[in-house]
Structure 1
Amino acid sequence: MNRAELFSQIQKKSSFLCVGLDPDLAKIPSHLKNEADPIYSFCKQIIEETADFAVAYKPNIAFFEALGPKGWETLQKVLECMPKDVFSIADAKRGDIGNTSKLYAKAFFESMDFDSITVAPYMGKDSVTPFLEFDNKWVILLALTSNIGSQDFQLIEDANGKPLFKSVLEKSQEWGTPDNLMYVVGATRGELIGEVRKSAPDHFFLVPGVGAQGGSLSEVAKYGMNSTCGLLVNSSRGIIYASTEKDFAKVARQEAKKLQIEMKDLMDQYL
Structure 2
Amino acid sequence: MTRSELFAQIQQKSSFLCVGLDPDLEKIPRHLLAEPDPIFSFCKAIIEETADFAVAYKPNIAFFEALGAKGWETLARVEELIPDDIFTIADAKRGDIGNTSKLYAKAFFETMDFDSITVAPYMGKDSVSPFLEFENKWVILLALTSNAGSSDFQLIQDESGQPLYKSVLAKSQEWGSPENLMYVVGATRGELIGEVRKSAPEHFFLVPGVGAQGGSLSEVAKYGMNSTCGLLVNSSRGIIYASGEKDFAKVARREAEKLQVEMKSLLEQYL
Fold shared per TM-score above 0.5: yes
Match for residue 124 of structure 1? 124
Match for residue 133 of structure 2? 133
- How many Å separate the matches in 1 of 2:129 and 2:229? 25
Match for residue 186 of structure 2? 186
Per the TM alignment, residue 110 of structure 1 is displaced from its structure 2 partner at its CA by 0.4
- How many Å separate the matches in 2 of 1:162 and 1:145? 17
Kindly provide the amino acid, as one letter, of the partner of residue 219 in structure 1. Answer: E
Per the TM alignment, residue 109 of structure 1 is displaced from its structure 2 partner at its CA by 0.3
Per the TM alignment, residue 61 of structure 1 is displaced from its structure 2 partner at its CA by 0.1
Per the TM alignment, residue 40 of structure 1 is displaced from its structure 2 partner at its CA by 0.2
- How many Å separate the matches in 1 of 2:191 and 2:164? 17
- How many Å separate the matches in 1 of 2:107 and 2:51? 26
Kindly provide the amino acid, as one letter, of the partner of residue 179 in structure 2. Answer: D
What per-residue deviation string (whole Å, max 9, x for no partner) do you get for residues 127-182 of structure 1? Answer: 00000000000000000000010000000000000000000000000000000000
Match for residue 51 of structure 1? 51
Q: Is residue 2:234 matched to residue 1:234?
A: yes
Per the TM alignment, residue 236 of structure 1 is displaced from its structure 2 partner at its CA by 0.1
Match for residue 72 of structure 1? 72
Per the TM alignment, residue 64 of structure 1 is displaced from its structure 2 partner at its CA by 0.1
Match for residue 85 of structure 2? 85
> SS state of the match for residue 93, structure 1?
strand
Match for residue 42 of structure 1? 42
What per-residue deviation string (whole Å, max 9, x for no partner) do you get for residues 58-95 of structure 1? Answer: 00000000000000000000001111110000000000
- How many Å separate the matches in 1 of 2:205 and 2:131? 17
Query: In angstroms, what is the RMSD of aligned CA positions?
Result: 0.2
- How many Å separate the matches in 1 of 2:47 and 2:121? 30
Kindly provide the amino acid, as one letter, of the partner of residue 67 in structure 1. Answer: L
Q: Percent identity?
A: 85
Match for residue 28 of structure 1? 28
- How many Å separate the matches in 2 of 1:16 and 1:24? 25
Match for residue 270 of structure 1? 270
> SS state of the match for residue 141, structure 1?
strand
Q: Is residue 2:216 matched to residue 1:220?
A: no
> SS state of the match for residue 33, structure 1?
helix
Q: Is residue 2:247 matched to residue 1:256?
A: no
The two structures have a TM-score, normalised by structure 1, of 1.00
- How many Å separate the matches in 1 of 2:154 and 2:246? 42
Per the TM alignment, residue 248 of structure 1 is displaced from its structure 2 partner at its CA by 0.1
Per the TM alignment, residue 216 of structure 1 is displaced from its structure 2 partner at its CA by 0.1
Which stretches of structure 1, 4 residues or more, deviate above 2 A after TM superposition? none
- How many Å separate the matches in 2 of 1:113 and 1:12? 23
Match for residue 60 of structure 1? 60
> SS state of the match for residue 131, structure 1?
helix
Per the TM alignment, residue 56 of structure 1 is displaced from its structure 2 partner at its CA by 0.1
Is there any run of 5+ residues in structure 1 with no aligned partner, and where? Answer: none
Counterparts of 1:152-231 in structure 2 under 5 Å? 152-231=152-231
Is there any run of 5+ residues in structure 2 with no aligned partner, and where? Answer: none
Match for residue 150 of structure 1? 150
Per the TM alignment, residue 263 of structure 1 is displaced from its structure 2 partner at its CA by 0.1
- How many Å separate the matches in 2 of 1:103 and 1:84? 24
- How many Å separate the matches in 1 of 2:66 and 2:82? 21
